[in-house]
């Protein structure tokens, strides 16, 4: 991950943060969300996601990419620490991401020693699923999770998303919102944005 993420400062008093791991192109969405009254308290931090090699539904993730993913998790953890040092409680910090970024967000949220606000995974899946049971923290299963996925995704197949949810439920996670977007490929749509916004409002609402 790049050491210097794009940071979009809030238009109001900073009381919550979203760390959204992405490759490119998500800054306009963050700017749009920031402009809405209900999100003026949020700082958006956009690190560049780890680029998983041989990333496909058929090939999966190469075992040697585990180290790269965990390195990216440490980067996100350091960003979380910086926000906490700036006075933001960890339970007011939402981690999220698209595609590879969703993979990193899942791993970060589930293994974080700090209690976070939640995880938002867009068109992603749970990496290192065979190892995650021993890696998760005791409080992780209480995390609110939003997972959005298109049912025509040719990159991260829809079934991967469904399998992720099944695995999370087996691990004891219960606060899960799984949304299917008919006809959507490896992308983002207006309906998903509305659902994402509703999740943000629920887990890091504006404070009085």
pLDDT tens digits, 42-91: 999 999 876 665 555 444 555 557 888 888 999 999 999 999 999 999 99
Within 8 A by CB and 6+ apart from 129, the residues are: 164, 167
pLDDT, one tens digit per residue, over 131-169 is 999 999 999 999 999 999 999 999 999 999 999 999 999
Enter the pTM of the model.
Answer: 0.92
Give the residue numbers spanning the domain of 61: 6-203
Residue 21 inside a domain? The answer is yes
In angstroms, rounded to a whole number, what is the distance separating the alpha carbons of residues 112 and 129?
A: 16
CA atoms within 13 A on the CB side of 172: 11
- Indicate whether 208 belongs to any domain: no
Residue 1 lies in a domain: no
Question: Could you read off the pLDDT of 77-134 as tens digits, one per residue?
Answer: 999 999 999 999 999 999 999 999 999 999 999 999 999 999 999 999 998 888 999 9
Q: Catalytic residue positions?
A: 99, 153, 186
149 occurs within a structural domain: yes
pLDDT at 109: 97
Assess if residue 103 is contained within a domain.
yes
């Amino acid at each position: 991950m790049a050491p210097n993420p794009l940071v979009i400062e809030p238009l109001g008093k900073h009381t919550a943060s979203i760390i959204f791991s992405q490759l490119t192109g998500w800054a306009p969405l963050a700017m749009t969300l920031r402009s809405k009254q209900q999100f003026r308290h949020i700082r958006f931090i956009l690190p560049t996601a780890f680029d998983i090699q041989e990333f496909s539904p058929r090939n999966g993730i190469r075992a040697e990419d585990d180290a790269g993913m965990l390195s990216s998790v440490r980067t996100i953890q350091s960003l979380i620490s910086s926000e906490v040092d700036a006075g933001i409680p960890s339970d007011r910090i939402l981690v999220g991401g698209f595609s590879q970024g969703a993979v990193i967000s899942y791993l970060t949220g589930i293994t974080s020693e700090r209690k976070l606000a939640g995880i938002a995974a867009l068109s992603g899946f749970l990496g290192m699923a065979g190892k995650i049971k021993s890696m998760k923290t005791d409080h992780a299963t209480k995390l609110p999770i939003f997972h959005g996925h298109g049912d025509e995704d040719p990159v991260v197949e829809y079934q991967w998303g469904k399998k992720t949810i099944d695995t999370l439920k087996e691990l004891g996670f219960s606060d899960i919102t799984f949304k299917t977007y008919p006809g959507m490929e490896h992308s983002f749509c207006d309906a998903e944005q509305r659902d994402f916004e509703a999740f943000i409002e629920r887990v890091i609402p504006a404070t009085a």
